[in-house]
């Protein structure tokens, strides 16, 4: 009897010491939308046993230290420039504090979820994944999910307008997904048409050349159609022979939305536009079961890969195919819903010791459609790539200063310019678009502006204020002048000749600009590796300092949207073309 009393007393003491105060365990809202996001409507109530692939992003304990280190190794004036971190060094900085692991496991156990049975942790320990019925998710998040339908596309998504966590978990969890993210990731591509047989590329030997900004000869046909030869002439990579293809230099291309690269089309492209590359290929890596169906050639996938290889051959090109289609409702023949591919891809790449030194992605969505906590967490993962020596390019978008009505989705329905995420993340390089040659002009769809989520980074402090002063009070209230400004740079984005299904299509969009600029960066890395130097890594601090003379300033063009003429291209940085377009010869002299 005495033993029972002592044991009971010990249990009470333990409970009193370790029990979470009631006010801390009460649910508190983590994120909510005031209204159903624009373009969506309630459709139905999903089944309680509908399976959800839940992802929980745990607080990264030393993320501020990682970002400080990123800036040190990316600043060409810092003594640590180029001293990039290893995978293990990065993972130590983003790993959760042990107390976070403890409280998360306790929370999961309280809902009948045991680590060894149902929970998968990524290599850094800052993401956990579990596949559980909707009813359990609703209990864990104190919420109710609905099936929502997109009014234009009829896409269906199981989402909630609000979710909560026990108050004491807010300091341990950054995000839980899928919950309130209604973003419709889209390809950054505005024009695509099949050229008639007599409207393909002319023999450049029969057309008089024009003079480029550095005095170089450029085929006049490049004013109408873009090929690898046009880009090599315009951006002065013609004649450069890559030297580090066998010394580890690589470029990575991201594919989402079931966009597949077609190998037969790639060889046809080589025969037409890069004969010396015939027989070369792209290595395809599958992320979480991503496919590469050769019966469905993708315009986006073919564009990205044909032009990265077209510019960088014989440098190895890696194509990542990641599941991430339009949101779907699972049934007996539909695979599990996978509509948040950024995190899947980032975790995959970051889990490997070895990875390409350059990445290009031609996808994105209006910043406001991403919950801010999601955008920040994904942005910090791009910072991890930069800390490890990778340069990350994203298309800046194809909506000018914003497509459609440009209404806010915070319940006020105000008109505001709409920048695109992830290009607004300060740790990636946003790429806008130009067209024409001698001179190049900013093209109307080139999306540019200012982030609402991310403040202006210090590397932009010298170039953005002069643009704002010239702008004056124009568009006051329509954008955040203190926000991170995009794009950073630009490149050609219209009339790209792409082989799709054996035929040439003319494609435009910042989806063409991003792989083009990424190809130039890959060649710069090649030159640095050949000289025994580290790769460029996170580019922006360098671009906005010693790199500025390596760009051709674009002085013409504007990017209308939201019922306005948009911003104007002008001397110096502008919100249409950024710092301008690359001059490989000039940049190589600055960075090698």
Q: What is the pLDDT of residue 403?
A: 85
Number of H helices, E strands in the chain: 16, 29
Between helices 63-74 and 87-94, what is the axis angle to 10°?
140
Q: Is 183 annotated as a binding residue?
A: no
pLDDT per residue as tens digits for the range 390-444 = 999 999 999 999 988 899 888 888 999 999 999 999 999 999 999 999 899 999 9
The token duo for 359 is: 């990445």
Q: What is the pLDDT of residue 411?
A: 81
**Is residue 254 helix, strand or coil?**
strand
Q: What is the mean pLDDT of each run of 10 residues along the chain (592 residues)?
A: 44 46 79 89 94 95 98 98 98 98 94 78 94 95 95 88 97 95 61 38 60 95 96 98 94 90 98 98 94 93 97 98 57 40 91 97 90 94 98 96 88 92 97 96 97 98 98 97 98 97 96 97 98 98 98 98 97 98 98 97
Q: Is 572 annotated as a binding residue?
A: yes
Domain boundaries, the chain: 22-79+94-182, 210-327+339-591
**Is residue 489 helix, strand or coil?**
strand
DSSP string, 532-582: TPPP--S-HHHHTTTTGGGEEPP-S-B--BTTB---B--SSSBTTTBT-EE
Q: What is the pLDDT of residue 202?
A: 44
Residue numbers annotated as active site: 300, 304, 511
Q: Where are the alpha helices (DSSP H) in 401-550?
A: 464-471, 510-530, 540-543
Residue 279: DSSP 8-state: T
**Is residue 366 helix, strand or coil?**
strand
Q: Which of 110, 148, 97 is nearest to 20 (CA)?
A: 110
539 neighbors 429 (Cβ within 8 angstroms): yes
Residues with Cβ < 8 Å from 97, sequence gap 6 or more?
A: 59, 61
518 neighbors 251 (Cβ within 8 angstroms): yes
Q: What is the pLDDT of residue 140?
A: 97
| Cross-strand pairs, 302 | none
- CA dihedral of residues 237, 243, 249, 250 (deg, nearest 10): 50
Pairwise CA distance, residues 314 & 305, whole Å: 13
pTM of the model: 0.91
Residues with Cβ < 8 Å from 468, sequence gap 6 or more?
A: 481
**Is residue 421 helix, strand or coil?**
strand
Q: What is the pLDDT of residue 413?
A: 87
DSSP string, 141-160: HT---EEEEETTT--EEEE-
Q: What is the pLDDT of residue 3?
A: 45
Q: What is the pLDDT of residue 206?
A: 53
Q: Is 554 annotated as a binding residue?
A: yes
The token duo for 159 is: 């989402």
Q: What is the pLDDT of residue 187?
A: 52
Please report, for residues 132, 140, 145, 157, 328, the alpha-carbon distance to residue 48 in angstroms, rounded to integers and kept in the order given. Answer: 10, 14, 10, 15, 16
Residues with Cβ < 8 Å from 84, sequence gap 6 or more?
A: 73, 387, 388, 389, 534, 535, 537
pLDDT per residue as tens digits for the range 240-263 = 999 999 999 999 999 887 889 999
505 neighbors 308 (Cβ within 8 angstroms): no
Pairwise CA distance, residues 502 & 194, whole Å: 11
344 neighbors 324 (Cβ within 8 angstroms): yes
- Domain 210-327+339-591 of CATH type 3.30.420.40: no
């Amino acid at each position: 009897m005495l033993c029972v009393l002592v044991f009971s007393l010990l249990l009470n003491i333990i409970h009193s010491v370790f029990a979470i105060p009631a006010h801390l365990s009460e649910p508190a809202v983590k994120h909510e939308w005031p209204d159903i996001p624009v373009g969506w409507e309630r459709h139905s109530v999903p089944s309680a046993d509908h399976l959800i692939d839940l992802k929980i992003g745990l607080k990264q304990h030393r993320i501020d230290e990682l970002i400080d280190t990123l800036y040190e190794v990316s600043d060409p004036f810092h003594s640590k420039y180029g001293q990039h971190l290893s995978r293990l060094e990065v993972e130590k900085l983003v790993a959760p504090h042990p107390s976070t692991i403890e409280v998360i496991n306790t929370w999961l156990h309280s809902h009948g979820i045991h680590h060894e049975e149902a929970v998968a942790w990524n290599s850094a320990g800052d993401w956990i994944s579990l596949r559980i019925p909707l009813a359990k998710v609703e209990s864990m998040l104190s919420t109710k999910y609905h099936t929502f339908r997109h009014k234009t596309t009829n896409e269906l998504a199981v989402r909630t307008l609000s979710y909560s966590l026990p108050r004491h978990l807010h300091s341990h969890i950054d995000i839980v997904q899928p919950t309130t993210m209604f973003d419709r990731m889209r390809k950054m591509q505005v024009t695509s048409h099949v050229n008639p047989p007599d409207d393909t590329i002319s023999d450049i030997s029969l057309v008089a050349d024009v003079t480029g900004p550095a005095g170089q000869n450029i085929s006049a046909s490049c004013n109408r159609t873009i090929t690898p030869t046009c880009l090599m002439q315009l951006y002065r990579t013609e004649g450069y022979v890559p030297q580090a293809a066998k010394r580890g230099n690589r470029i990575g291309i991201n594919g989402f939305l079931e966009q597949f690269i077609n190998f037969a089309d790639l060889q046809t492209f080589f025969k037409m536009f890069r004969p010396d590359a015939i027989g070369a290929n792209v290595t395809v890596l599958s992320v979480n079961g991503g496919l590469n169906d050769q019966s469905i050639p993708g315009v986006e996938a073919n564009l990205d890969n044909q032009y990265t290889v077209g510019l960088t051959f014989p440098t190895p090109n890696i194509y990542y195919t990641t599941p991430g289609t339009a949101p779907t409702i699972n049934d007996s023949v539909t695979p599990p819903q996978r509509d948040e591919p950024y995190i899947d891809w980032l975790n995959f790449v970051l889990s490997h010791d070895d990875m390409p030194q350059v990445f290009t992605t031609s996808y994105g969505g209006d910043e406001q459609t991403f919950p801010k906590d999601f955008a920040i967490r994904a942005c910090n993962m791009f910072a991890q790539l930069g800390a490890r020596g990778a340069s990350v390019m994203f298309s800046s978008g194809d909506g000018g200063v914003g497509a459609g009505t440009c209404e806010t989705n915070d319940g006020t329905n105000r008109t505001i310019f709409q920048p695109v995420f992830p290009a607004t993340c300060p740790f990636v390089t946003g790429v806008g678009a130009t067209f024409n040659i001698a001179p190049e002009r900013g093209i109307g769809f080139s999306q540019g502006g200012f982030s609402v989520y991310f403040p202006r980074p210090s590397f932009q402090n010298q170039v953005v204020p002069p643009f704002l002063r010239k702008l004056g009070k124009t568009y006051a209230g329509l954008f955040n002048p203190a926000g991170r400004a995009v794009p950073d740079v630009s490149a050609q984005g219209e009339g790209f000749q792409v082989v799709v299904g054996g035929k040439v299509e003319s494609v435009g969009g910042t989806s063409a600009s991003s792989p083009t600029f990424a190809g130039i960066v890959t060649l710069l890395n090649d030159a640095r590796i050949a000289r025994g130097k580290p790769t460029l890594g996170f580019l922006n601090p360098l671009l906005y300092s010693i790199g500025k003379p390596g760009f051709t300033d674009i002085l013409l063009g504007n990017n209308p949207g939201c019922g306005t003429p948009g911003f104007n291209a002008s001397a110096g940085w502008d919100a249409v073309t950024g710092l301008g377009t690359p001059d490989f010869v000039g940049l190589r002299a600055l960075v090698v």
